Structure 1
Amino acid sequence: MDGLAIAFDILTTTPAVFAALAGVAWGIVGGALPGISPSIALALLLPFTYGMDPTTAIILLGATYVGAEYGGSIPAILINTPGTNAAAATVIDGYYMHREGRGGEALGISLQSGVIGGIVGITFLILFTEPLSRVALAFNFPAYFALGILGLTVIVSLSSGSLIKGMMTATLGLMISTIGTDPMSGVTRFTFGQPELLTGVEYVIVMVGVFAISELMMTANTPDWGKTDARQTRIKLPSFRQWRKLWRAQGIGSGIGVFEGVMPGAGGSIAAFMSYNEARRWSKEPEKFGKGSEEGIAFPRPRTGTWVSGRVQLSALA
């Protein structure tokens, strides 16, 4: 408890508060720009931390990461292009709501769910760091393989309308992920002599190609594609009535995030798709998923999986 008191005292100082606000603001901008992932946003900010106090610098970088994870949902909802890997699950219902003129509601639900998920993740991290670290250290190679198969089956299960297309998409993703240098043996695979492919294909590039280019082609094919939409989308936080409807979704999504975040190598992407898959199973209105469901945004948005996964693995190494 003494450590928590010291941390709370540091976090309430003036430099820490300004660093947190600045980090969240830059993180949202970085996450909202397709092509700038949370890691790139942190890398761009790193030179500014050289002359800072270590505590203030850590707060700035941590706040940037949190802001970037939420910022990824902004282009996912507004332009059908996820800014981060985990935001890919938000595209399914978020963009549909935006097309119905409810983009502000989708952004508000995403923001509220992200805050709740982040609080749950930090709480579990503070209270259960040591036992979670032991779970992370217990993972071996067969467990990693089983975890990868679990992630693939969850993604394929989302394509219940066309299982063949889902399996083809998963296979294509596996083929793209094998490009580059093998992290275990150091052997180069499918680089075709191009040094640019030694590090593999960036996830952001794949997402921009899959989501943004396809959306651009479909939009350009419509007769009124050149007309500008004069509507302004503003964040509209959920009302108390909506929150009562979504609290179960947010709670279950946070729980799945904690469970998936404990597993090393999983992170927020698998947690988001697992949450979305469970959302359809537990929802009273599963037919609305894929057609602008509010629960479809509330389930995958909590950042618990990403928070717990990264911090627990660092704690395990320490």
Structure 2
Amino acid sequence: MDLDPVALATLSAVVQEGTFDRAATRLRVTPSAVSQRVRALEQALGRVVVTRTKPVTATPAGEVLLRLAGHWEVLVGDALAELVPDTSTTAYPQVSVVVNADSLATWLLPALARAQAELGIVVELVREDEEYASDRVRAGSALAAVTADPTPVAGCRLTPLGAMRYLAVCSPDFHRTWFADGLRATVLDAAPIVRFDERDRMQHRVARRLARREVDPPAHVIGSSHGFADAVVLGMGWGMLPVEWAEPLIEQGAVVALGPRAQTEVPLHWLSARLSSRTLDVLTRCVSEQAAQTLHRR
């Protein structure tokens, strides 16, 4: 069975854009053409590859094809870069990389910038919690990810990077209001926290360890790393900040630590498709080198 690379690229666009219409706009074809290409894939495969919902999502069969589409685009880009080294005429692939917000805000971007300068690639950064990043690579919607999940993924390489270290901090006024008598379980159950999104459970895990029981404090949800830090400084709640941000703020008196046990580490890994690809090799090298300079070794 032959799989049409154009149809594979169309499938990828449909899943990334979420609708057939937006995929058609991106590909500069009609929605009917997009639908026909996807239907041709399904007929050739004998399986449904996407759900006709909003947003469109890939079925398990579609996820396999998405991985193939991503691999194909990178390999074609590598071949063109070798055969036609003049960058003005070479079409470089778009490489999707899944990152957590704190890594992007603190250490990862210089690595991606060096890789982009060396390769000339276009990088699409997909934000996802580090505990769920592997799912995006497994589903075929990204070629690489910074992940906290140490579980191997079939067809991928898993490279340890080091750990991000976090401190639980709050504003001095917040500390006086809530924790003047210590980190009691009843207070940890009532004192507001700041969390990044509904998947962010870091504050809950640290609070549970301090309280020695489950707690469910009220939570502000702020989906921005810098906004998260600002909310903590302004006294909206306590939260876990990377030490690179927390320690200067403590020195300035803007925040105080909740206590000596109110800290945690998140081991990170680099998950990438197992391809013989210069693009992925350079990305892996740049990310690993930057991690060695900035992350904590365990």
The two structures have a TM-score, normalised by structure 1, of: 0.23
Larger radius of gyration: 2
The two structures have a TM-score, normalised by structure 2, of: 0.24
Higher helix share: 1
Higher strand share: 2
